[in-house]
Amino acid sequence: MEMKVSLKKGVGFFVRAASVFLRGAEAREASEGIEAKPKRPPVEELLVSGLGDAIVVAVAVAERMEADGLAEIAGVETLFPEMPDGETRSSQIRITLRRLNRPSLEGGLAVVTWNLAAINNNPFEYWITHTDGAYAELMAQVEQFIENPGERDAPIGDIFGQARYDELRSLMEAEGWRGLDEVDGMWLSDLSIRKAVSGILKDKGLGDKRLCSMPDRFTNTTNLSSGEPAFRPSVINHCANRLSSVAEWWPQWKAFMFQDYLEVPAGSSGSKRVRPCELLPSIKRAKYPAITDAEEAVSVPLQCLCLAIFDAILVHMMHVLSPDGHWQKIKESICDATFRKKNAKTTAILDGYREASVMCLQEASVKFLGDLGVSSLATTHHIVAPAKADAQRDQNSAVLLSRQFFPAGAAKELTEDVIAALDVQPSPLEAGDLIVVRTTSATGTPFLVASFHGDTNGKSTSPVLRAVAKVLAAEGAGCQLIFGMDANTHLAGSSSLYGVKEFLQDCEALGLRTCWPDGKDMAECLTTCNARTFLQPQLNKACPSTLKLQKGDVNPKDHIVFRRSGFEPVSTFKDNTARRQYVESMCFPTLQFPSDHGLVATALESKL
């Protein structure tokens, strides 16, 4: 079927028309002023054509259909057709769209759960799937550079140099930092003669002492009072400055650390002006026993020096591996997808699931929830955030309730009731980890709706599950439960990791079940696939590219839980592409899907 676009109508008209062609449409009976329409089955292929200035409309429609997961672009043809006498010859584009079979949420109560993933300060920290083949090549080169540097393992004196050390020392002296004579000795007799990779990046002692990772943690990304972040000039954050060489990087680094004043939050509602160098903490031997008494005494200037050396090594390495600077274009594309445009991409994906009656979100920032409140989703759903949302840690659970299915929205938040019902103390929960609300459907059925983000090892999940079950029981047998969660369950449980097998047993013991079919191999229900790269300050956590699946985080972590007596799952699927498809063994996030957790969706049929 061909759809010819023009400039006579807006792009939105043709987007809606293409959606109908690809989705199909139900029959419509005639009524006053409205004519009857027969049922329209979906087309398998749609040819979108545009002539002359309408080419941009055709391209926009095709891109939208692909972004919405309705179709893939199967072919593009550019023509220069003969025009009637007297008319200027004009170009034409013909784009073939092939319909994608999208899993449906029809046939029951539609529920979605998704850990949106808090923004990662280091765009290179995790292996991702990138459309630019140069990304995989670059990361392989970084891995090789660090694993087998050979002659490229240059002394720090050649990369950072005495002149830069002297400049740094003057800046540290101006701060009144003590122990600089001792730091001079450490520089001359030790650090300056170390090799960049073997002596700094891969040195276990520096890692145990936190001399690079601690200052990176405090200065990598600083959240300002304005809500905007400030970035240290570094390879491993979202800094957009040009860092083509150590010479170009160094003046920027000095200015940021010692000259730039940042307005940061202070107290309940105030703010203060600080320079990043003032944020560096002392490193205490009591907490990090690897550090010596002498190093503890000068830990502030020593970590500042180590951070400068560390950043210089990374800039030097990227210049060696990508002398044309293409690495910075790759970084920009990742920063756009996972940081600058992350909220917009996330909202667009959720909008594609707007038929869901319940959406359970985890690790949502306060800003994102605020933006969601003024998005088109707010017209179809109540946006419910926890009363004690945490803007500092900024990883909050939330729920979206369909205005059609739950007209009144959330009647009462019961999060504190669940926390009070925990059978372990102190509470293993951080502020924002959990939200529980009571609501009522349009048909009068009471519901308890919850969203939860477990700790890394999953140890808080079981007590939270039991506490929610207690509160549910107090609500009465007629109250139904919808509980979306990142349970942080692991395929292989252990004494330190909560196993998915134990999780399923805990659910069963409480009269609950998950959206996954009973007896299904949980190795087929994986919702994470990520591993750390070699471009980060803690190389002990790095995973070789050939072992990403074996040693990475590849686990069935995300679940939708409900009363076994209340619902039966009609269909369940997962998504890591923004197209209602899940590509197994693919590391994500990707440029199209900005989270490291897959989205899980299910349609639940009532048993009542």
* Average pLDDT for 109-124: 95
163 and 117, same structural domain?
no
Q: Among 297, 315, 337, where does a domain finish?
A: 337
413 in a domain, yes or no? yes
82 and 156, same structural domain?
no
Domain that holds residue 53: 2-99
314 and 391, same structural domain?
no
Confidence of residue 54 (pLDDT cuts 50, 70, 90): very high
104 in a domain, yes or no? no
472 and 572, same structural domain?
yes
pLDDT at 288: 94
Q: Which residue has the higher pLDDT, 520 or 425?
A: 520
pLDDT at 87: 61
573 and 542, same structural domain?
yes
Place of tokens 């405090």: 218
* Average pLDDT for 572-595: 95
354 and 332, same structural domain?
no
Count of domains observed in the chain: 3
- Residue 17: CB atoms within 10 Å: 16
**pLDDT tens string 412-422:** 999 999 999 99
Name 487's Cβ contacts closer than 8 Å, sequence gap at least 6. 452, 454, 458, 461, 498, 503, 557, 558, 559
352 and 309, same structural domain?
no
Confidence of residue 89 (pLDDT cuts 50, 70, 90): low
596 in a domain, yes or no? yes
Q: Among 281, 316, 337, where does a domain finish?
A: 337
pLDDT at 30: 78
Q: Is the peptide bond before 426 cis (omega within 30 degrees of 0)?
A: yes
DSSP string spanning 244-311? SSHHHHHHHHHHHHHT--EEEEETTTEEEEE-GGGGPPP--TTT-TTS-HHHHHTHHHHHHHHHHHHH
Considering 22-31, 80-89, 512-521, the range whose residues carry the highest mean pLDDT is 512-521
Confidence of residue 227 (pLDDT cuts 50, 70, 90): confident
23 and 65, same structural domain?
yes
379 and 328, same structural domain?
no
pTM for the model: 0.85
* Average pLDDT for 78-105: 80
505 and 357, same structural domain?
yes
pLDDT at 82 over 70: no
pLDDT at 362 over 80: yes
Confidence of residue 480 (pLDDT cuts 50, 70, 90): very high
Indicate which CATH number applies to the domain containing 72.
Answer: 3.30.110.20
164 and 284, same structural domain?
yes
**pLDDT tens string 373-383:** 999 999 999 99
pLDDT at 479: 98
Indicate which CATH number applies to the domain containing 541.
Answer: 3.60.10.10
pLDDT at 43 over 70: yes
Report how far apart the first and last C-alpha atoms of the chain are (Å, whole number): 44
523 and 392, same structural domain?
yes
Confidence of residue 68 (pLDDT cuts 50, 70, 90): confident
451 in a domain, yes or no? yes
213 in a domain, yes or no? yes
pLDDT at 406 over 90: yes
Which of 22-26, 289-293, 448-452, 516-520 has the weakest average pLDDT?
22-26
Name 438's Cβ contacts closer than 8 Å, sequence gap at least 6. 410, 411, 412, 413, 414, 446, 447, 448, 475
**pLDDT tens string 545-554:** 999 999 999 9
553 in a domain, yes or no? yes
Q: Among 337, 365, 397, where does a domain finish?
A: 337
Which of 28-32, 444-448, 469-473 has the weakest average pLDDT?
28-32
- Residue 46: CB atoms within 10 Å: 24
